[in-house]
Amino acid sequence: MNFPLIPVDPIKSISQRALLAYWDHAANGQFFPTLEQFRPDDRTHDPKQLVFWQVETISPRERRFRALHQGDHVAQVFGQHWSGRTMDQVVPEFGRAIALGGADECARSGCAVYTILSTVDPSGRPVDCERLLLPLGRQGKVEHLVGSLQLISVSGEFRRETVLSSFQLRTEVTCSGKIRSSGQSGAAAATGIRRDLEGDLGWS
């Protein structure tokens, strides 16, 4: 998969835009915040839709991602609890390469990574899964990832307990890209990511 640099605009979810803004603000001029600095409240983003991963470096080019926390809504979709297990163990085969590719890009680049996976409900109406990955760490090294998974369908219908079967039948990547923090991009980001996102947190 390719992850070109993208602006904030493709992110559809208001709460994911707010989470991205919080992540950028918490970094405080660094490439990304630490796990200890990243403490969004429930008003910023629903914790039931979050997953925290520990990044384990196997070699300079190989990483493993181990689940530390999994929100209840994510557990309902996948029908299992992930704590202590690795991403390659818990993500179904149809989405494994997509999930691991995004996680590896996030850990390698230190950028936020955004992906939309699209399918259709039994009536042929579109259903999207929007995934936002954010890196956390210190001294330029990514030590953890936090992932937000949100399901959305404007015209279709889905249930978290059964929607996975639709993605197993048909999955298309309709958006993928990465977003630098203000600390990575310097002045350009200060007039970009913060300007575009500050309204989501009510900043002025």
Give the whole-angstrom CA distance, residue 150 versus residue 144: 20
pLDDT tens string, the chain, 204 residues long: the values are: 889 999 999 999 999 999 999 999 999 999 999 999 999 998 889 999 999 999 999 988 899 999 999 999 999 999 999 999 999 999 999 999 999 999 999 999 999 999 999 999 888 889 999 999 999 999 999 999 999 999 988 776 778 888 999 999 999 999 999 999 999 876 444 445 665 665 555 543
- Amino acid code (one letter) for 182: S
Q: Dihedral (C-alpha) 150, 38, 88, 95: value to the nearest 10 degrees?
A: 20
Give the whole-angstrom CA distance, residue 7 versus residue 10: 7
The pTM score is 0.90
Domains, the chain, in order of start with CATH, read 14-201 (3.30.450.20)
Give the whole-angstrom CA distance, residue 160 versus residue 174: 21
Instruction: Judge residue 98's burial from the number of C-beta atoms within 10 Å of its C-beta, 0-12 exposed, 13-18 middle, 19 or more buried.
Output: middle
Token pair recorded at residue 111: 């950028």
Give the whole-angstrom CA distance, residue 195 versus residue 17: 12
DSSP states of 168-184 as a string? HH--EEEEEEEE--HHH
